[in-house]
Amino acid sequence: MTQPAKRLLITGFDPFGGETVNPSWEAVRLLPEAVGAYRLTKLQIPTVFGQAAERVLTAARELRPDVILCIGQAGGRSAVTPEVVAINLREARIPDNAGNQPVNVPVVENAPAAYFSTVPVREMVKAMQNAGLPAALSYSAGTFVCNDVLYSLLHFFDGTQTQVGFVHVPFLPEQAKDNAPRLPLMQIVQALTAAIESC
């Protein structure tokens, strides 16, 4: 078997907000080394404003990926949700893992208000649904570190061939309290696999 020719850099975050796991990294870890047309390079990034995007950019400079797909936890969501858009705003309800809690601060000074994701988000949703998994588009990545990473990368790679996307995933069953939505880890892994196959 020949190796897939295209390169995908895929990231997950460390736990934050008092959690002991982050389903994004747990799922990324379990993905195979190759999916569809892509050879995967996996990277765990810190839930820290600025630093997270810097880590991705450093890895991307070396790897020169065709696609960068960042995965993050969105507690309270019941579906796996590709993000349509990132906005130029940092506004944190809780501190990040370095204690930063910015309010009304731009991600990048004097830059556009928003960028659309450059991966095929609608095809990704369809592929996940066809695989029998809960998936939907999301029109807000929030204003915390996940949006920060997506905005920073879309700004940096704007006008280049490198495609950038972000997918939020639900809590794992062991994280979800009371009736909070949850999704078993293997279903998150299957959903991400289907999403990558459609990129």
Give the residue among 52, 66, 73, 15 at the shortest CA–CA distance from 151.
Answer: 52
What stretch of H or E contains 155? Answer: helix 145-156
- Residue 197 carries which side chain, given as an amino acid letter? E
Binding piece for ligand PCA, criterion CB under 6 A, among 26-34, 68-76, 127-135, 152-160: 68-76
Instruction: Choose the catalytic residue: 146, 155, 174, 197.
Output: 146
Nearer to ligand PCA, 4 or 15 (CB): 15
Nearer to ligand PCA, 103 or 132 (CB): 103
With contacts defined by CB under 6 A, how many residues of the chain interact with ligand PCA?
A: 12
Q: Is residue 91 among the annotated active site residues?
A: no
Give the residue among 58, 67, 63, 54 at the shortest CA–CA distance from 10.
Answer: 67
Residues written for the chain: 199
Spatial distance between the Cα atoms of 29 and 8, rounded to a whole number of angstroms: 14
The reply on whether position 102 binds ligand PCA by CB under 6 A is: no
8, 10, 22, 187: residue in contact with ligand PCA (rule CB under 6 A)? 22
The reply on whether position 72 binds ligand PCA by CB under 6 A is: yes
The reply on whether position 146 binds ligand PCA by CB under 6 A is: yes
144, 151, 157, 171: residue in contact with ligand PCA (rule CB under 6 A)? 144
The DSSP result for 33-68, as a single string, is: SEETTEEEEEEEE-S-TTHHHHHHHHHHHHH--SEE
Where on the chain is the footprint of ligand PCA (CB under 6 A)? 13, 16, 22, 24, 47, 72-74, 142, 144-146
Residues known to be catalytic: 83, 146, 168
